[in-house]
Structure 1
Amino acid sequence: MKSIYKTKGTCSTQIEVEVCDGVVRNVCFRGGCSGNLQGICRLVEGMPVEEMKHRLSGIRCGNKQTSCPDQLCKALDALVSE
């Protein structure tokens, strides 16, 4: 399953993510902090969805209520509920 998720409350504007057999594949952020987001994409590649959500859900960026990693968790939640 592949999805394009419009982020809310972050510098990045969207996340493209694919899940195959419960494993995160092909994550790409648009906008945001390029180096950090490239690192996140490489780190979560091949990680089980539930493990990734356990590690990244609820992370905040500064005073914001969310972050790019947290938005990735929300993108996966939306993908699973489709």
Structure 2
Amino acid sequence: MKISYKTQGTCSTCIDVEVENGIVKDVRYTGGCNGNLKGISELVKGMPVDEVVRRLDGIRCGNKETSCPDQLCKALRQCALDEGR
């Protein structure tokens, strides 16, 4: 399943996520801190969605209530909902 998730409260504006059988296959951010987000994207490839959410959920960026990793968790939850899990 592939989705495009519009982020809220972050410098990145969109996350394109591909998940197959509960495993993260690809993550691509639009905007944000290019190097950091490429790094996060590479690190989570091949990981179970539940593990990514366990590790990254709730991370904040400075004084913001959210962060790009936290928004990825929201995107992955949306993907799971769309799959009917």
TM-score range, shorter chain: over 0.9
Q: What SS does structure 1 have at the residue aligned with 2:46? A: coil
Find the aligned partners of 1:58 and 1:44 in 2 and give their Cα distance. Answer: 16
Q: What SS does structure 2 have at the residue aligned with 1:25? A: strand
Amino-acid identity (%): 63
Letter in 2 for 1:37: L
Q: Considering only aligned residues, what root-mean-square deviation do their CA atoms show, in Å?
A: 0.5
Name 1:40's counterpart in structure 2.
40
Q: Please give the TM-score of this superposition, normalised by the length of structure 2.
A: 0.95
Q: Please give the TM-score of this superposition, normalised by the length of structure 1.
A: 0.98
Letter in 2 for 1:28: R
List, as ranges, runs of 4+ consecutive aligned residues in structure 1 with deviation greater than 6 Å: none
Structure 1 runs not aligned, ≥5 long: none
Deviation at 1:20, TM superposition (A): 0.5
